[in-house]
Structure 1
Amino acid sequence: MSYFTEETSADVVNNRIGPHTSPRLRRIMTSLVGHLHAFIRDVELTEAEWEQAIEFLTQTGQTCSGSRQEFILLSDTLGASMLVDAINHRAPNGATETTVFGPFHVDGAPERAMGSNISLDGKGEICLYTGRVLDLHGKPLENAVVDVWSDNEDGFYDVQQPDLQPAFNNRGRFRTGPDGTYAFRGIKPVSYPIPDDGPVGRMLAALGRHPWRPAHMHFMVTAAGHCRLITHIFVAGDRYLASDAVFGVKESLIVDYLKVDSDTEAWRANYDFTLCRQAD
């Protein structure tokens, strides 16, 4: 029997795990306790700092609601969400890179006719989005579903302003034909700050970090027999590309939005998505 000491703390705690605990849970908790105790020893955490940490986590939980998830925001801003994404979506060379899902996706967005305009509030500069959905061999994928969503010209998603924006504003789903092509009109998205009026925002301010995300359009692409792809395309030249508050930018996802002189759109953005098979 070993009693709790500064030197043996992690081992003592982990030795209390019961013999019938699942191996995966045992591995996770043993590692968590080991790293947590090593961190506390490394920084020699004071009691006042421990109390501050408890209060921060308490306030984070109290800020969560049916329309806001402050713990996911905390995970995002610490880079944990992107690391989990990277580990769980390792893909073959040539497959489109993934990035964070974000908190603003809405199930049940309407399926719209190819080329339709998803911007319903009349705000923003219209952009024509085009491209193809392909497999790793360059073959077009028919009947792939391209689910898209973005903020509006003011930097807010419809769910953030249910009394101001139409339902499903800047959202839609499109189904590819035999050539794998998709096309729709939305707006050229704008950069926006993540919600920073809660404990996570106060943490960022204390760390000298800003809460801004670079402008992007969200995509979720699905096709039978292929891995689901969740990603963004980012507006080239955005001032926040190198300092995204949630670390979501990847170089391969930065796209040139081209200015055009057209009666139906002011910008065009073209991007092909390459999916890997579920067995790859």
Structure 2
Amino acid sequence: MDVSFVGTPPIQDLLDRVAGVSSPEGDPRLKAIVRDLIESIMTVIVRHDIGEDEVWGAVSYLQKSAGEFGLLMPGTGIEHFLDLLMDAKDAEAGRTGGTPRTIEGPLYVENAPLVDNDANLTSDPDDTDTLYMTGRVRGPDGEAVENVILHVWHADSKGFYSHFDPTHEQTPFNNRRRIRLGADGRYAFHSKMPNGYSVPPGGASDTLMKALGRHGNRPAHVHFFVEAPGYRQLTTQINFGDDPFAADDFAFGTREGLLPVPNRQGDTAHIAFDFELQRADEKADETFSTRERLVVA
């Protein structure tokens, strides 16, 4: 069957009815989006001659994978695509410079302890090396950014995040802090070295990766939100440049400029990394996206 079938009057009429085109009620923007989305799905079904069993198999997969949508978004490249799209919009608007943005991932937790500089992120015993990170937060002209809140979170040496640890052994907010910086924009913290992780074995993400001939591994990395009055909020992360998965991150979080190699000495590792923020054009630029995040009192 040729994909022109989707353009026939009966199918086009069906799409109009699905999207409520003739109804004066509802959101016109949502109507247009839903119509285009459903039409795209129909086109894919016809183009690849997807049968009824395959369609319902996909529905079953999606129903079972609801708990892993946060992993499927980066694993399918959609979260990285959003970063690339925002980069392109910035370029069109003449916005340049700044530390590259990259994916947030699904494992941020709100209300981490707010602490002063030179913070220890790790609350639990962890028999591994100690990571030290230092650097500065600067503006586009090299100025020190004042009143910065640096959000930091990462996994433990097993690759597990507090609040998402399947062993339930970590205390709340282990390896999670919000650090209040001084007027010089300098930051410093230490923690126990994180390890990379794999998607849950046998889960929805693992099933899809194997079907695509891919793996579900991430390199060791550290996540950041950087916020300060007058500057655009930055969502980014560093991947350890010496990790074997740094060049093959299943979540596509690796970006040029975000691959420092830890200076490993004995039982310690040191990373020096500076952040550069862009100035905010409006108040909304300073705020976080409205995606749903885990909230813990």
User: What's the TM-score, normalizing by structure 1?
Assistant: 0.88
Deviation at 1:6, TM superposition (A): 4.9
User: Secondary structure of the equivalent of 2:116?
Assistant: coil
The one of 224, 230, 233 equivalent to 1:228 is: 233
Aligned length: 266
Structure 2, gaps ≥5 residues long: 283-297
The worse-fitting range, judged by mean Cα deviation, of 19-28 and 229-238 is 19-28
Question: Structure 1 CA distance, aligned partners of 2:70 and 2:13?
Answer: 31
Distance 2:83 2:15 in 1: 28
Deviating more after overlay: 155-164 vs 175-184: 155-164
8 Å contact 1:13–1:33 — kept in the other structure? no
Instruction: Report the counterpart of residue 160 of structure 1 in structure 2.
Output: 164
Cα displacement string for residues 108-148 of structure 1 (whole angstroms, at most 9, x for unaligned residues) = 11122311211122312111111111111111111100010
1:184-219 deviations in Å (ceiling 9; x for gaps):
112332111122332221111222211100110011
- 1:150 correspondence with 2:151: no
Partner residue in 1 for 2:137: 133
Distance 1:196 1:224 in 2: 42
Return the alpha-carbon distance in structure 2 between the equivalents of residues 10 and 278 of structure 1: 46
Instruction: Give me the whole-angstrom Cα distance separating, in 2, the residues matched to 1:6 and 1:213.
Output: 39
1:104 maps to 2:102: no
In the alignment, the residues of structure 2 paired with residue 208 and residue 34 of structure 1 have an alpha-carbon distance, to the nearest angstrom, of 28
What's 2:288 paired with?
none
Whole-angstrom CA distance in 2 between matches of 1:245 and 1:163: 25
Q: Which letter maps to 1:84?
A: L
- In structure 2, the CA distance between the partners of 1:10 and 1:95, relative to structure 1 (3 Å rule), is farther
> What is the match of residue 272 of structure 2?
270
The answer as to 2:254 corresponding to 1:249 is: yes
- Per the TM alignment, residue 54 of structure 1 is displaced from its structure 2 partner at its CA by 1.4
Aligned partners of 2:269, 2:69: CA distance in 1, in Å? 36
5 Å matches for 1:201-216? 201-216=206-221
Shift in Å, 1:34: 2.5
Equivalent pair of 2:199/2:205 in contact (CA under 8 Å):
no
Q: How does 1:11-160 map to 2 (within 5 A)?
A: 11-16=12-17, 17-18=20-21, 19-20=23-24, 21-61=26-66, 64=67, 70-88=68-86, 90-91=89-90, 92-123=95-126, 124-160=128-164
Task: Describe how 1:179-190 pairs up with structure 2 within 5 A.
Answer: 179-190=184-195
Shift in Å, 1:7? 4.3
CA contact (8 A) 2:209 2:215 kept: yes
The 8 Å contact of residues 75 and 81 in structure 1, kept in 2 or not, is answered as yes
Output the CA distance in 2 between the equivalents of 1:267 and 1:276: 29
CA distance in 2, matches of 1:106, 1:42: 42
Partners of 1:203 and 1:258 in 2: CA distance:
36
Offset at residue 266 of structure 1 (A): 0.9
8 Å contact from structure 1 (residues 142, 180) kept in 2: yes
Whether the 8 Å CA contact 2:242–2:262 is kept in 1: the answer is: no
| Distance of 1:85 and 1:225 partners within structure 2 | 22
With normalisation by structure 2, the TM-score equals 0.83
SS in 1 for 2:182: coil
- Contact 2:6 2:42 survives alignment (8 Å): no
* One-letter code aligned to 2:14: V
The verdict on how the C-alpha distance between 1:260 and 1:12 changes in structure 2, with shifts beyond 3 A counting, is same
How large is the Cα RMSD of the aligned pairs? 2.0
Q: CA shift at 1:101, angstroms?
A: 1.1
Using the alignment, how far apart are the partners of 1:147 and 1:254 within structure 2? 19
Instruction: Indicate if the aligned counterparts of 1:10 and 1:33 stay in contact, CA closer than 8 A.
Output: no
1:258 to 263, 284, 288: 263
CA distance in 2 between partners of 1:234 and 1:76 (Å)? 15
User: Is the 1:196–1:211 Cα contact (8 Å) retained in structure 2?
Assistant: no
Mapped partners of 2:50, 2:86: distance in 1: 33
2:232 counterpart SS class: coil
Please give the secondary structure, in 2, of the residue aligned with 1:97.
coil
